[in-house]
Each structure stands twice: as C-alpha cells, then as structure tokens.
Structure 1
Amino acid sequence: MTDVAVDPAERGAARVRWIRSRMPLLAAARAQFAESRPFSGHRIGMSLHLEPKTAVLLETLAAGGAEIVATGNHGSTQDDVVAFLRGQGMTVFGARDDTLEQHHAHVAAVVDAEPDILLDNGADLAALVAERGLAARIVGGTEETTSGGDRLRGELAGRIPFPVVVINDSLLKAIGENKHAVGQSVVESFMRLTNLMVPGRRFVVAGYGWCGRGVAHYLRQFGGKVAVVEVDELKAFEAALDGFRVGGPEQLNGDLARWGEVFITATGHPDILTPTFFDAVADGAVLANCGHFPWEIDVAALKAGAASVERLDDAIERIGLPDGRHVILLAEGRMMNLAGREPKGNSLESMDLGFLLQSLSLERVARDAASLRVGAQPVPDDIDREIARRMLAAMGADR
C-alpha cells in the first residue's frame, strides 16, 4: 500500500476538530465572546505550548475579536497545529525542531509585533518586555505556570507595571489540571515512551507541589513503589501522611539515588539532578522531567561527563557513564508529556477548565485592568467559582 501524504494543515484541522468537540466550556465561552467581542482592538501576544488544545483556546480568543501573534515553547511545538493556525489567519512562529536560539528569536518576534496583552508561559514574554523597556504599552496579561509566577515575583519583581493573572495560583487549576491531569499524563507518557511496567517499579518523584502530588499518586495507583523528595517541611509531612517514603536532597543524592529505578522531577527549580546525583545513581536508572523549564536535570553536565551518548529513539537516550554504569534520559530533560514522542499533554477536560480560566482572566484584563493590582496575582475569586460551577455542571457531578 502506498502512503498518501497528508497536508499538515489538514491533519492539524482534523485533530483540532476532535479536541474542539470535547471542550464544552470553551465552546460556550466562544459563543459568548462572539457576541460581546471583549478583545476588539487588542493584539494578544502568546508564548504557550502549540498543540491542538491551545488551538481551541486561540480560536476562542479570536472569536472575541483578538488579533493573535503567537509562538510555542521550546521543544513542544506541533507543526501540524502551527500550519492549521496559520490557515486561520493567525501569525504563528516556530517549529518542533527549533533550536533554543530560534525559539528565543520567535519570542522576540512576538514582542516585536507590539501586543498589548500577553498570554505567557514561563514569563518569557514578560521578561523580554521588561528587558526592552516596553512595559508601558502592555495593558496586562496572564501567566500559565508556577515557574513563570516565581519569575514574576522574583527576578521580575517591580519591573512589571501591569497586572498579570497567574493561572497556576488558582486552586481550581491546581486540583483539576496540575494534580489530576499532569499526574495522569506523566504516568501515561512514561508508559508510552518506554513501554516499561509501572507495577512493582521503584519511582522517586522530586517535588510534592500539586504536579508532584499527582504524579506520585497516579504512579502508586498503577502499582508503583514511590518515594518523594521535598525540601519544604510541610509538604514533606503531607507526603509522609499520604503514605510515601520521604527524603530530602541528601537522600536524593544518597540512598534514594541507589534505591530508585525511575526519577521524575516536578519542582520548577533548576539543578535537582546534578553531577553529585549522577555519581550515585543506580545503573540503568531512567531520568525524566515534567517541570516547565528543561533545567531540573543538568543534562549539559550529564553529557559532558559521559563516556557515550546513544540515541535509541527520538525520545530516549542511553548515557554511558565513565565507570560503566548508564542512565536513560527521556525527552532530553524537557517536559516528558509534551516534548516526547506522540505528545498528548493533559486531558481534554482539564484543559477545557484551564483554558476557560485563561479566557475569562484575559477578558477581565481587556475590559477592566484598572480593577486589578499591578504585578503577579491569583485568578479573581469570582472567576474561579464561576468556572467551578460550570465544570461541575459539565461533569454531571450531581448524577
């Protein structure tokens, strides 16, 4: 049988059709925005994973009158979705095989297009706007991640003179998307990428925030033996009461390095798995990350000190260590559930909820930025509660 080439835009359109059909919250918002047009006269600059669910979000914003200029995040862009969005008249930069330098150039291109509202992921747009002294032209924006929220409150504190609603500060998102959707998708991605068994295997999860909680719980539900590494005493206490083995950085670089068979980082912070860990880790261990930035595993140091690097698959590398041990690295240390082979990301229902949070928060920024304080802040409580009501109704939770 002869393979028939499929136009990327057509493939993207087909994938988006399925996703769109299963996102009723965004469908209702899209119809509402088409009437109210809250984004008329606004250009929204976006840096967010470009995959089918994001395409439905952008359709929703465009229905409300927004002009869209967008790029993805490094390593997770899906080319057929880019082709589809360009066919819808949106300005979209980026490709899956972009280098980090090319990605930074695409972020700069979004800023160069002079958006007045930012839809950010990891605070890349906000940081560049601040660096270039362009903040005065920004009405406000949203930030998707904990990592980006940390940057806004840390290195960018006092440099962002406009409101930024941090979607990940929402308890609704923490429960629905981070704990349950990330937990599910990371475990699913581990099984899909490696084809290894979860039951009986020893896993070490670094970080017991909402994402780490979800990963640890879903691994255990599938029969994995799970240890948690956490530096925050209260989170470590919670993990212990939840029945997990618990340790700190010393154990991660000591007993747990030798005990674990799979290590998954979920902290949002750099340098979690470092040369000290590589010197101690058991032969054959699998290393993976689900945090936003690819800095939790020190991949550069790992490869610099390697005796050999062998690519076994587009998402699997075998790193030979000088003393004869080896480790397996998944997705080059990037987000394994979005940067790996055949990425699916979080569940449709969770992203319907999460992207409705984005949509209504952006609507609040566009219509009433003056009601919001300057800088990073959580989703307004009335938006959280309204979406909770809509999600419960969509789930049929009363049945």
Structure 2
Amino acid sequence: MDTSTRAEQGSARVAWIRSRMALLAATRDEFASSRPFAGHRIGMSLHVEPKTAVLVETLAAGGAEVVGTGNFGSTQDDVVAHLNTLPNVTVFGSRADSLDQHHVNLARVLDARPDMLLDNGGDLAAGLVERDAMDTVIGGTEETTSGGDRLRSELARRIPVPIIVINDSLLKAIGENKHAVGQSAVESFMRITNVMIPGRRFVVFGYGWVGRGVAQSLRALNGKVAVVEVDELKAFEATLDGFRVGTADDFAEWGDAFITATGRPNVLCYDLIERMRDGAILGNVGHFPWEIDVPAIRAHQTGSTELVSALERVDLPNGRSIVLLAGGRMYNLAGSEPKGNSIESMDLGFLLQALSLERVATGAATLQPGAQPVPDDIDRLIARRMMATLQASS
C-alpha cells in the first residue's frame, strides 16, 4: 500500500473516531479561538492510534507544532500517514520498528528541540535528562503510572519543570483505567486467542485501577479470577471484592491464563512460568514490555511457533509450552486488530492531556517543578462535562 492510500485509510478511521469524541470537539473549537500553544513545539511519545490523532489535531488547532513518535510495538501506520498530512505535524515510526529504531525515533523527536512534552513512560523526559537539556522545555504531561514512577524515582530531582502526571487523576483512574482498560484487555484477549472466558481460570497480577478493571471484566463474563497483589490494602480490597487472593506461587499451577497489570519488571519470572500448566496463556497490559520475563523465556525456549498474529506458542525444556500474547507488549494495543480503550474513555483521558498542557503553556510559573497530579479544577471541570455528555445520551 502506498503512502497516499495509507493516509486515506487512516483519515477515514480518524473521521469516525473524531465524530464520537464530543469533549475534544468542543475544546478544539475553544483552542482555535484562544490559541494557547501558539509558538510552542510539543514533543510527543504516545501510542499512535486514531484517538491519539484526534488529540494531536486538537493541539494543532490551538497553534501547536507537534513532533512525535509512537510507543514500541503499537504504532498504527495508517494513522501515522494521516498525521503527516496535517500542517505543522511530523510523526516518526512504524509498527514494524525494532526497539533500537524506536529509540532512534525518540532521539529524532528530541532533536527537533520541543519546548513542551507529551510523554508516555517518561521516555522523552529521560532523554532530555541524559542530554542535560531539561532547561529547553517549560514542562509537559506524562500519561502513565509507569512514567510517573520513573519521574519520581530515577529522574527525581532532575526535573526542574512541571510535569503533570495524567494517571494520577482519579477521574482517569475510574473512567479510563478501570472501566476502559478492563474492557479492552478482555475484548483483545478474546479477539487474539478466540478462547472462551466462562469457566477459565485467570490470574491477574496487580489490583491497581487497571488490575481492578481487568479482574472485574473477566468475572463479569464468568471467568474464574484470582488476584496477585503485594500491597496489603489492595489485597484486602480484592478479597472483599470477592476474588481469590494470594501469591504468585499460590496460583502458578492453578491458572489457565495470566495477565500482568503492575507496571513493575519481571513480576512473571521464569521460575513461575516453568511451573505453569501446558498451554498457559501469558499477556501484559502494563505500559512497559517488561512485566513478563520474555528474555528468560527466549534464553530457555526449545522452539517457538507463531500461531496467528500476536499469538505465539513457546516450547519449554520441561516438555510443556506456553502461549505468549504480542511478545509481552501491551496486547490490547500491540495485538492483532488493535482497538485500545473505548472512544469515550479516551475522549475523557485526552481532554485531561489537552487541558493540562494548556495549563503548562499558559501558567507554568504557577505550578511546582517535578511530577505532580492533574490540577483539581481541571479534573472537576472534565467530570462535569463528561456527566453532561453521558446524561444527554441516556
């Protein structure tokens, strides 16, 4: 498919998504009048899919120049082609990029010298710290819990500008992480594997907002669900919510499918994988592709077969096999026929991004340096708008 045809395909998909994102539509009109990003270049690292394109269009309507790239393994090529037809928008990357090429794409974004960041996983912020160039930006946003943790740990005290962590928003946690990721994780699991949920034994790692959503969505379809959670209070909540709760050791031989949602590396280590029943399915919905110890799997495997797109059987030395979804990447975006979270939830989530970036552009001096939550007035404004939208359609 040539670039122009791919761009036409992407434009058609984006048009449908745009028609269902009422919150961003209203804000796009507001930005076209107020032009809060005039003179600013926004560096972006986000999953590039149709809903992301609507966010980029909204920022561009507000006067922004956007230079960006996707996240590793989830870029949708037709959406990239569409975005690159827009004035003042440049997006690098493709779905086939290796991890090394992804790092090259991130470097190209930073080479463009953005003065604001629209980050995911802290990759752009880490790149600027490594270059000792944080003084070239006035601030930005970070999408994920994983990125927020990174800003507050390895990058702490090296971020002299405000970075608003969108995933700190209770509004996003409820509307997107719990209800939307839960839905998309289960929908994508069924689409990729074509197996039945009812009666199947699922082990969900993590009972944060995403883990809650995944566990509850699986149970709603009559899956048998156990939760692994190291935080005592979250484990207590999962218990009172009616789930089996225990350690990874408790459920290694019990589960038919294992889904990670912790943001932490190697929570599914090879010792656990070795003990799983033959044909166990492993999937990750955390941001970084590190929650399942895929390098250890590769080091020990005796063979592998791609069954269908994003579905791989890996043979182990003990004579058993496991089935790996999307190579350990976020399978609801990196899997086959990726849809990601629902349109309405991302309308909410990306409005949080847009208004938080507007706050940085127009009032960075009023914000504290470093990682921080979404300002309360923005959360409450969007909650009111979302409720009005939902009530209008009820």
* TM-score band, normalised by shorter chain: over 0.9
User: Which residue is equivalent to 1:22?
Assistant: 20
Per-residue CA deviations over 1:85-136 (Å, capped at 9, x if unaligned) read 0011311100000000000000010001000000000000000001101111
From 272, 287, 295, the counterpart of 2:267: 272
Q: Report 1:139-288 matches (<5 A).
A: 139-248=138-247, 252=248, 254-288=249-283
User: Could you tell me how far apart the structure 2 residues matched to 1:125 and 1:352 are?
Assistant: 23
User: Which residue is equivalent to 2:83?
Assistant: 85
- Contact 2:274-2:318 within 8 A present in 1 as well: no
Cα 1:191/1:134, change in 2 over 3 Å: same
Instruction: Kindly provide the amino acid, as one letter, of the partner of residue 359 in structure 2.
Output: R
User: Could you tell me how far apart the structure 1 residues matched to 2:272 and 2:392 are?
Assistant: 45
User: Could you tell me how far apart the structure 2 residues matched to 1:4 and 1:92 are?
Assistant: 17
From 52, 55, 64, the counterpart of 2:53: 55
Q: Report 1:125-144 matches (<5 A).
A: 125-144=124-143
| Offset of residue 6 of structure 1 | 8.2
Cα 1:12/1:398, change in 2 over 3 Å: closer
User: Which residue is equivalent to 1:71?
Assistant: 69
From 8, 11, 26, the counterpart of 1:10: 8
- Contact 2:42-2:116 within 8 A present in 1 as well: yes
User: Could you tell me how far apart the structure 1 residues matched to 2:274 and 2:319 are?
Assistant: 11
- Contact 1:303-1:309 within 8 A present in 2 as well: no
Instruction: Kindly provide the amino acid, as one letter, of the partner of residue 114 in structure 1.
Output: R
User: Could you tell me how far apart the structure 2 residues matched to 1:388 and 1:121 are?
Assistant: 23
User: Could you tell me how far apart the structure 1 residues matched to 2:82 and 2:282 are?
Assistant: 34
Cα 1:309/1:135, change in 2 over 3 Å: same
1:44 corresponds to 2:39: no
Structure 2 stretches lacking a partner, 5+ long: none
User: Could you tell me how far apart the structure 2 residues matched to 1:163 and 1:336 are?
Assistant: 31
User: Could you tell me how far apart the structure 1 residues matched to 2:174 and 2:81 are?
Assistant: 33
Q: Report 1:350-361 matches (<5 A).
A: 350-361=345-356
User: Could you tell me how far apart the structure 2 residues matched to 1:325 and 1:303 are?
Assistant: 14
1:334 corresponds to 2:329: yes
User: Which residue is equivalent to 1:114?
Assistant: 113
SS of the residue aligned with 1:355? helix
Superposed structure 1 runs of 4+ greater than 2 Å apart = 3-6
User: Could you tell me how far apart the structure 2 residues matched to 1:111 and 1:4 are?
Assistant: 28
Instruction: Kindly provide the amino acid, as one letter, of the partner of residue 91 in structure 2.
Output: V
Instruction: Kindly provide the amino acid, as one letter, of the partner of residue 370 in structure 2.
Output: G
From 300, 311, 317, the counterpart of 1:305: 300
User: Could you tell me how far apart the structure 2 residues matched to 1:213 and 1:37 are?
Assistant: 39
| Offset of residue 274 of structure 1 | 0.9
User: Could you tell me how far apart the structure 1 residues matched to 2:41 and 2:274 are?
Assistant: 50
User: Could you tell me how far apart the structure 2 residues matched to 1:365 and 1:4 are?
Assistant: 39
Per-residue CA deviations over 1:329-381 (Å, capped at 9, x if unaligned) read 00000001000001000000000000000000000000000110000000000
1:33 corresponds to 2:35: no
User: Could you tell me how far apart the structure 1 residues matched to 2:116 and 2:270 are?
Assistant: 41
Cα 1:25/1:99, change in 2 over 3 Å: same
SS of the residue aligned with 1:396? helix
- Contact 2:4-2:81 within 8 A present in 1 as well: no
Instruction: Kindly provide the amino acid, as one letter, of the partner of residue 101 in structure 1.
Output: D
SS of the residue aligned with 1:46? strand
User: Could you tell me how far apart the structure 2 residues matched to 1:158 and 1:68 are?
Assistant: 27
Aligned length: 393
From 363, 373, 388, the counterpart of 1:393: 388
| Offset of residue 4 of structure 1 | 12
| Offset of residue 45 of structure 1 | 0.3
- Contact 1:183-1:212 within 8 A present in 2 as well: yes
Instruction: Kindly provide the amino acid, as one letter, of the partner of residue 26 in structure 1.
Output: L
- Contact 2:43-2:117 within 8 A present in 1 as well: yes
| Offset of residue 255 of structure 1 | 3.2
- Contact 2:284-2:292 within 8 A present in 1 as well: yes
SS of the residue aligned with 2:268? coil
